[in-house]
Amino acid sequence: MGRIPAGPEVPRTPIGMLQMASALKSDMFAFIGKRLQTYGDVYALQVPGGLHYIVANPDFAYEMLVGQPQNFYKDTGYKDPKVGLTLFLGNGLLTSDGDFWKKQRKQVAPALHARRIEAYAETMVESTDLMLTRWHAGSVLNIDREMMRLTLGIVAKTLFNADISAQAGRIGHILDTLQAAMMPLDVLPAWVPTPLRFRRDRAIAGLDEIVYGMINAWREQGADRGDLLSMLMLAQDDDGNHMTDKQIRDEAVTLLLAGHETTANTLNWTFLLLAQNPDVEARLHDELDSVLGGALPTLADLKRLPYTEMVIKESMRLLPPAYSFGRQAIVDTEIAGYSIPKGTEVTVFSYFIHRDPRFWSEPERFMPERFSPENEKHIPRYAYLPFGGGPRICIGNSFASMEARLLLATIAQRYQLRLKPGFQVEFDPLITLRPKHGLMMTLAERTPERHAV
């Protein structure tokens, strides 16, 4: 029989709870990091209704995700009727469970298969090149906004064949509103109207309008365009049933959100880290200049850009966009000597695993060499898990990895980005790890050096 891990007292009074929420909000990583130091890499909170384990242990993560995934569902945080992701993602891939999830995953997977996505490379580079026509040396830009628009446009074009550039601003605003509404400690009953809930409901209605618009437009044409939307519209289960419009809407919204926000943040953090580490940046420029010689990157070039890939991987180690993810035990079980009673919530923090000195030397340093083919082999199992693992591993990981490398290569070849003097970057760990007040950076034009290739 395993044991329940030790952990701190959870405040029981409303004032104590508000104090804890405010400490978490002001610096979540410092707050949880201190507790991990005190109690070890798995600690328990006695919360109303059961236990909540906080985990920063790779073996535990491996066993939960790969060893016994059948014993865990997505945590109830996803399904909270007031602040859960299901509020606007519905029952899509990210939030569904059991046989239903399995069926949906099988239907969506072919569109994101490594072979299939190769066809998207050109759109990715073209969209980036188009964005760069609006950039000018010397100007100051909110890189967060630029990256969000770019990656949203790419996922819409590649997966849904939709040009949403005209609506990108509106969708961006809707998603900002929804992220902000998902997180607060909302203690009021679900029926109480508040300004935040009003904004949230309006944002969901706006999102529905856009996505049902895409579904209706497809139906008017009714042709198989070979994109994901066509696949969803035409898919039939074993009994010959098609997905309902609501189900297609849920999958589409899930992919639009999951498919752009994380990649945009990967690029945000990569540009910040490059600006803070000019030696790494110089090596990256060197690789880009000698391999591409000023030309736009293609899919075939990626093999010849190993350092670019190492930079992206190291950026996702230090600042993982999906910095934590949660499960709930659906049966009594045991992992790593810990008893996990049915109903226990488990949150794995990849953020802390990625910075643990037991697995990473000088963990705070930005050192892409950790991911050289030689060094990568020695990274302990599940000490690096930016895309999660097991059957629910990110379905878009190949898409994201290709996209991040192509976008970085296209942009870094032409511009050197520096933080705007005096601008303070603040981390905002909401659903993803994003910059709280954007990322204001100055652009300096580069002329790629022509190397003999």
What are the residues binding ligand HEM (CB under 6 A)? 93-94, 105, 112, 155, 254-255, 258-259, 262-263, 266, 321-322, 325, 386-388, 392, 394-396, 399-400
Among left, alpha and beta (phi > 0; psi -120 to 50; other), residue 50 is left
Closest to ligand HEM by CB, 210 vs 443, is: 210
Which residue, among 433, 322, 324, 329, has the nearest Cα to 97 in the 3D structure? 329
Minimal CB distance residue for ligand HEM: 396
Contact 6, 43 (CB under 8 A): yes
Closer to ligand HEM by Cβ: residue 121 or 394 = 394
Measured from the CB atom, the residue of 255 and 305 that comes closer to ligand HEM is: 255
Separation CA 377–CA 381 (nearest Å): 10
Q: Which is nearer to ligand HEM, 5 or 320 (CB)?
A: 320
What's the min distance (Å) between Cβ of 286 and ligand HEM? 25
Residue 223 phi/psi, 5-degree rounding, is -105, 150
Q: How far is the CB of 258 from ligand HEM (least distance, A)?
A: 4
To the nearest whole angstrom, how small is the minimum distance from the Cβ of residue 409 to ligand HEM?
16
Rounded to an integer, what distance in angstroms lies between the CA atom of residue 37 and that of residue 279?
32
Nearest approach, Cβ of residue 263 and ligand HEM (Å):
4
Of the pair 62, 399, the CB lying nearest ligand HEM is at 399
Contact present, 56 and 159 (Cβ < 8 Å): no
Residues 6 or more apart whose Cβ sits within 8 Å of residue 450: 289, 293, 294
Q: Give me the least distance between CB of 400 and ligand HEM, in Å please.
A: 4
Least separation in angstroms between residue 168's CB and ligand HEM is 17
**CB-wise, 226 or 278, nearer to ligand HEM?**
226
Pairing of strands 433-435, 427-429: antiparallel
E strands, 23-81, in order: 42-47, 50-55, 72-74
- Residue 24, CA atoms < 13 Å, CB-side half-sphere: 14
